[in-house]
Amino acid sequence: MQPIYLDYNATTPVDPAVAEAMQPYMVTHYGNPSSAHSYGRTAKDAVEHARARAADLLGSTADEVIFTSGGTESNNTVLKGVAYTYRHKGDHIVTSQIEHPAILNPCAFLERQGVRVTYLPVDHMGMVDPDDVRRALTAQTILISIMHANNETGTIQPIAEISRIAREHGVLMHTDAAQSVGKIPASVAELGVDFLSIAGHKVYAPKGIGALYIRAGLPLEPLMHGAGHEGGRRAGTENVSFDVGLGKACEVAKADLARYQRVVGALRDLLEQQLQKHLGDRMVLNGHPQQRLPNTLNVNFRGVVGAELLEKIPELAASTGSACHSGEVALSSVLRAMHVPPEVGMGAVRLSLGRYTTGEDVERTVELVVRAHAGLSSA
């Protein structure tokens, strides 16, 4: 039997409806969207239909969405594009200490080019304080980039409030929404952002496809230069079948959003409640107890190392928030930023549920974790 999969924040399986939608564009409709003949027009129509589906999920217009190779490219496009395009206005970017490496590493690169970056702290629940954002702004600030929801803890950031601060100061606002799209509402109008990044493989589309929302009218130097694909904003022959897949995934996600939040949220709560029932204060929550993704449970199991716990449970696929090397525990940058004590954080495990998680999966996971924890604690 396959292990129980509770690592949906790492990646999701491709939805069967997505795979079905993609298949004709791998075999039958193979034209280049830039070609003027019927093969090209068929491919072009498919790409534009997919773009409209992605825009519909975000509440934007289709011409505000470009397809990319994934969340990493989308993030790099914004950070480097803004730094280059708006360098005449300033050289300062504000972000947070808990961002994904797809934000932190481009920021480190830009720092080597002379850009100044402020990395804001978070509280013990992993939340950015909007007042810290306001205090960090200077006359040279050109961009704020704060993730919508954290990939490790699921904590949802106050993006709408931060966006209002950005607008008050004439600063552009970006959010990496790789973990939130398809799990919670991500309307660009309600969030008030200028840029928003999507990763296809976090929303039941294939790996290697993503999208980027760019508010209409904003000039942005492209990361990829070449022919005039994607309205001149991202060169390279369109990946038609994957574009179609992401479009279908966005359509399914929008239709399923209410059910997803209700059903997956209830299963996550059941998992947390049952683990708490058996382990009591030997389990400590990481992240915000309410303002978090409905599918994410990140906890510290006291008295054990998270990686060792999961090694004892080959029947379960999940992630840890710490690593043990030569007897020393190294916490993730997210847990360090939250000031989780190493002796507690060494037991961090992320259990992330998804569209195909069942009640039986939850019950079995509780049994496996409680048994493995007892075995390690008594060893």
Give me the catalytic one of 19, 324, 330, 374. Answer: 324
Q: What are phi and psi of 153, to 5 degrees?
A: -95, -20
DSSP 155: B
Residues in the chain, how many? 379
Separation CA 124–CA 225 (nearest Å) = 42
Separation CA 312–CA 289 (nearest Å) = 28
324 assigned to active site:
yes
Contact status, residue 191 vs residue 115, Cβ threshold 8 Å:
no
Written as six digits, the tokens of 130 are 């909007």
Q: Where is 97: in which H helix or E strand?
A: none
Residues pairing with 181 in the sheet: 184
Phi-psi sector, 117: left (phi>0), alpha (psi -120 to 50), beta: beta
CA 204, distance to chain mean position in Å, is 13
Instruction: Assign 3-state DSSP to the chain and report helix, strand, coil percentages, each to 5.
Output: 45, 20, 35
Residues pairing with 116 in the sheet: 92
DSSP secondary structure string for all residues of 347-371:
TEEEEE--TT--HHHHHHHHHHHHH
CA 171, distance to chain mean position in Å, is 23
Separation CA 292–CA 155 (nearest Å) = 4
Looking at the annotation, which residues are catalytic? 324
